[in-house]
């Protein structure tokens, strides 16, 4: 059975996941803006977008280019770079979202407001962010180690060899 993708371009599962994510984002937006502090939420979103686009994006682009330039002569530069980029990006995203609580800004009262709203302690964010960051880098390093010690015949090489063998068998005679 052939599935046609005329009006959407992807399969039905992708469409279902996209609709579910939009519904979840809409629900979160309604809950967030219904609290009576919607001007603060709008200011936070605009400030976060401006901070990201005008300050953070150039900074981490420069840092990434510096690391790439520094390691460009090594044989495995392309192989291990994503294993540093991904945990660094996730850690930076967590820092951006939870910065007032991680920084423990006493003047802003973020921890006290958080404790009052949730009943959970607000002074533990720095240590937990550091633990999550260390965990992200540890999982990434373990993943890189597993990929590095993978047998030569397995993985991508094996898949590529199987594809070549399949192509050779299915090619018409005389090619």
Same domain (yes/no): 118, 64: no
The one-digit pLDDT tens for each residue of the chain (175 residues) are 455 556 778 888 999 999 999 999 999 888 888 877 778 888 878 888 888 889 888 988 888 888 778 777 776 666 777 888 889 889 988 988 888 888 875 555 667 777 777 787 877 888 999 999 999 999 999 998 888 887 765 555 545 555 555 555 565 655 5
Cβ atoms of 140 and 86 within 8 Å: the answer is yes
Is 2 within a domain? no
For 142, the domain range is: 76-152
d(CA 5, CA 7): 6
Same domain (yes/no): 80, 131: yes
Residue whose tokens read 């400030």: 47
């Amino acid at each position: 059975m052939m599935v046609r993708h005329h009006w959407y371009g992807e399969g039905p599962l992708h469409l279902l996941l996209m609709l579910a994510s939009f519904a979840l984002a809409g629900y979160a937006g309604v809950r967030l803006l219904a609290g009576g502090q919607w001007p603060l939420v709008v200011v936070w979103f605009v400030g976060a977008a401006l901070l990201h686009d005008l300050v953070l994006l150039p900074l981490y682009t420069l840092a990434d280019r510096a690391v790439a330039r520094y390691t460009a002569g090594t044989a495995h530069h392309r192989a291990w770079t994503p294993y540093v980029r991904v945990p660094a990006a996730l850690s930076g995203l967590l820092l951006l979202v939870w910065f007032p609580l991680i920084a423990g800004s006493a003047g802003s009262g973020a921890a006290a407001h958080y404790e009052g709203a949730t009943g959970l302690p607000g002074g533990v964010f720095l240590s937990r962010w550091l633990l999550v960051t260390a965990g992200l880098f540890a999982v990434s390093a373990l993943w890189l180690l597993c990929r590095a010690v993978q047998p030569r015949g397995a993985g991508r090489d094996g898949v590529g060899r199987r594809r070549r063998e399949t192509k050779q068998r299915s090619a018409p005679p005389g090619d």
